[in-house]
Amino acid sequence: MSITLKHIEAKQSEIQQLIARFKAEQPRTLTVAEASIELATGEVYAGLILNEDGTPAHHLVLLPGQAEELEWDKAIEWASEQGGELPTRREQALLYANCKQHFEAAGYWSSQQHESNSSWAWCQYFLGGTQGHDRKSYGLRARAVRRLIIE
């Protein structure tokens, strides 16, 4: 068999694909800031929220207690009285993934208003895990969280 330029180019392409796959499979090291998180009675560690670039942003702690049938502005006040805030939509997704056993199968207010209609706000439904928006005048449940910023 004689070796041709076409044969060499085909082998070169195959080797480049193998190199690319090998590089993709190499282990990566991610260093997350060590944290000793003190939890008060009834608090639950929910997890780590990441920045857009994938670096750690903050730890999320679910505070004890919940409120029922609150309009959105009253839910914000209630969360503040608990020493926390309503969670963001991203935080609610994490809460659903890691802590759904601490929620009723109902809708819970987030801290975020709807982008195009200020009379609506976002919420997380803990029955099926979806997020949606409701009128701020609706009575939904509320949970408070606290954030431990990673610097």
Q: Is residue 120 part of a domain?
A: yes
Give me the domain span that covers residue 77: 44-149
Q: Does residue 52 fall inside a structural domain? A: yes
Number of domains in the chain: 1
- Each of the 151 residues of the chain gets a pLDDT tens digit; together they read 788 888 888 889 888 888 877 777 766 555 555 678 889 999 999 999 999 988 889 999 999 999 999 999 999 999 999 999 999 999 999 999 999 999 999 999 999 999 999 999 999 999 999 999 999 999 999 999 999 988 7
Domain annotation covers residue 33: no
CATH number, position 72 = 3.10.100.10
Residue 5 lies in a domain: no
Domain assignment present for 38? no
Q: Is residue 59 part of a domain?
A: yes
Q: Which residues of 44-53 are buried (b: 16+ CB within 10 A; e: fewer)?
A: bebebbeeee
H-assigned helices in 46-109: 72-81, 89-99
Distance, in Å, from the CA atom of 30 to the CA atom of 16, rounded to the nearest integer, reads 27
Kindly report the pTM of this predicted structure: 0.78
Instruction: Extract the tokens encoding 111.
Output: 């801290």
Residues 143 and 108: beta-carbon distance below 8 Å: yes
Q: Which residue has the tokens 């009675």?
A: 41
